[in-house]
Amino acid sequence: MIDDQDTGRALPERGMPAEQVLDGIRGLRKGDRPTHGGRLFAYVYDPAVPGLDELAAAAHAESAHVNGLDPTAFPSLLAMENALVGAAARLLGGGPGSTAPDVVGSVTGGGTESLILAVKAARDAHPEITAPRIVVPVTAHAAFAKAAHYLRIALDLVPVDPATLRPSAADVAAAIRPDTVLVACSAPSYAHGVIDPVAEIAAVAAAAGVRCHVDACFGGWTLPWLRRLGAPVPPFDLAVDGVTSISVDLHKYAYAPKGVSVLLHRDPALRAPQYFAYADWPGYTMVNPVIASTRSGGPIAAAYATLRHLGEDGYLRLAGATRDAVAGLADAVRGVDGLRLLAEPESTVVCFTSVDPGLDLFVLVDELTVRGWHTQPQLAYGELPASVHLTVTASVAPRVAEFGPDLADAVAAARAAGPVELPAELAALAATLTPDALTPELVASLAAGLGLGGPATAPGGSAPNATVNALLNAAPPALRERLLVEFVGLLQRPTY
């Protein structure tokens, strides 16, 4: 029952019946991108396994009110966490009988938290280094920059080869300094789905006596299955000498509901500086392995249930379906004149660019949206052109045959529409403005000119975003960051 009087206020004067509350949420959800159905290529990971959502929701509900603050009070949570860490360790080259038998880990709330903690552990292992630094390829996830920012660590970026999209171990070695506490690499990178030369990078880190973290948050859960299916996956995990820690997100390709990642360290001594303990106050003595203190057992129980239900055979089957979907989508891209794969797919990403000046990728993304395909535009960066990113999950497999014709159609429409032409003054502004020259008035007028900050995008997300992307694309990174903060800030206003 939908109540016409319901304004969506979070705290109504009178409490509402449960069904009405849920109806309200379902109504709001109609404006979202479709989380299921294999047409959304970012943000969500859908295996399309019947009954899995219901199982995960039931498991979540069982443990939602359990608090991870104290593992001795809720041994159920400790048991599930330890089991998840064990599963991740075994999958990623550690555990009994491996070359990393003493591996330990933590369950965190997500990939960003895992990476921040890997950086924190590396920093706090060296209290004598007063100005610590980390070495990270430019293609590494932005969470490393966030970690550096939060933890006041200098970020030394290593370039990648524009053809292979990989950093070279020699460049990594050259970037390591006496104050470097961590070297990181990706397996695979989010933007392009490319696996860095982990063994070579870990070797130069080890030679310098520096920790090496492998960010396998995104695809670390699929690479072992793809390898078992015969894909030529290079060594990337704890089996590689010199890899001191690795992270993998269960809320990505392990298909668990959001809020679960695993951070593994090769041995307990490496993990020790990750903890925060505090006894110098009159309350309970606090010991936290992760950033959050109180944390719900819900996501952990849901992940535990998901892994147990799918099992190794399930993940192998899902990886096979995903691999076939990736191959089909890549073929669709190859079949369209004017598009080029930025990298040959080697994991679960299809990433392409435009080689036709008359074909604007941002217009193409909007044309795909109109046709019900939700792709992710990536702005140009350094020598790398703008691109379109597709995170491919198992749910895409049954949709692949529909993608090719729609892509061809969308490309024709984008060509016919022509590239976005930013008004000359806007283009000039993007190219010359410095972030600190952005006034609230300027932001408001830019937002109004771009149609931002008004009513939410229509259901299905069909509003044209190409102009916004074109503006951001024309701006240097520092201005992009500032504009995005301002634009998103306009959206995040209380409703009464």
Summarize as ranges the residues that interact with ligand PLP (CB under 6 A): 110-112, 115, 141, 143, 186, 190, 215, 217-218, 249, 261
Closest distance of CB 20 from ligand PLP, Å: 33
CB of 216 to ligand PLP, least distance (A): 8
Enter the DSSP assignment of 388: E
Q: Which is nearer to ligand PLP, 48 or 117 (CB)?
A: 117
Instruction: Work out how close the CB of 325 gets to ligand PLP at its nearest, in angstroms, rounded to a whole number.
Output: 18
What is the DSSP-derived secondary structure letter of residue 395?
G
- Nearest Cα neighbor of 159 from 142, 171, 145, 144 is 171
Question: How far is residue 88's CA from residue 251's CA, in Å, rounded to a whole number?
Answer: 13
**Cβ proximity to ligand PLP, 144 vs 352, nearer residue:** 144
Nearer to ligand PLP by Cβ, of 143 and 326: the residue is 143
How are beta strands 180-186 and 211-215 bridged, if at all? parallel
Closer to ligand PLP by CB, 248 or 475: give it. 248
The nearest distance, CB 69 to ligand PLP, in angstroms, is 21
**Residue 251 DSSP one-character state:** T
CA dist., res. 397 & res. 321, Å (int): 6
CB of 291 to ligand PLP, least distance (A): 11
Q: Which has the closest alpha carbon to 253: 314, 315, 337?
A: 315
| Closest residue to bound ligand PLP by CB | 111
Of 112 and 322, nearer to ligand PLP (C-beta) is: 112
Shortest Cβ distance from residue 115 to ligand PLP (Å)? 6
User: In whole angstroms, what is the distance from residue 104 CA to residue 320 CA?
Assistant: 30
Q: Which lies closer to ligand PLP via its Cβ, residue 114 or residue 168?
A: 114
Show Cβ contacts of residue 97 under 8 Å, excluding neighbours closer than 6 positions: none
93 or 188: CB nearest ligand PLP:
188
Nearer to ligand PLP, 379 or 479 (CB): 379
Phi and psi at residue 249, to the nearest 5°: -95, 125
CB of 337 to ligand PLP, least distance (A): 31
Length of the chain: 496
Token digits of residue 424: 């000359």
Least separation in angstroms between residue 217's CB and ligand PLP is 4
State the amino acid at position 305 in one-letter form.
A
Cα distance between residue 99 and residue 304, in whole Å: 26
Closest distance to ligand PLP from the beta carbon of 374 (Å): 16
Query: Contact 483/467 with Cβ under 8 angstroms?
Result: no
Long-range contacts of 486-491 (CB under 8 A, 24+ apart): 486/438, 486/443, 486/447, 487/443, 487/447, 487/452, 487/453, 490/443, 490/444, 490/447, 490/452, 490/453, 491/452, 491/453
Q: Which is nearer to ligand PLP, 186 or 369 (CB)?
A: 186
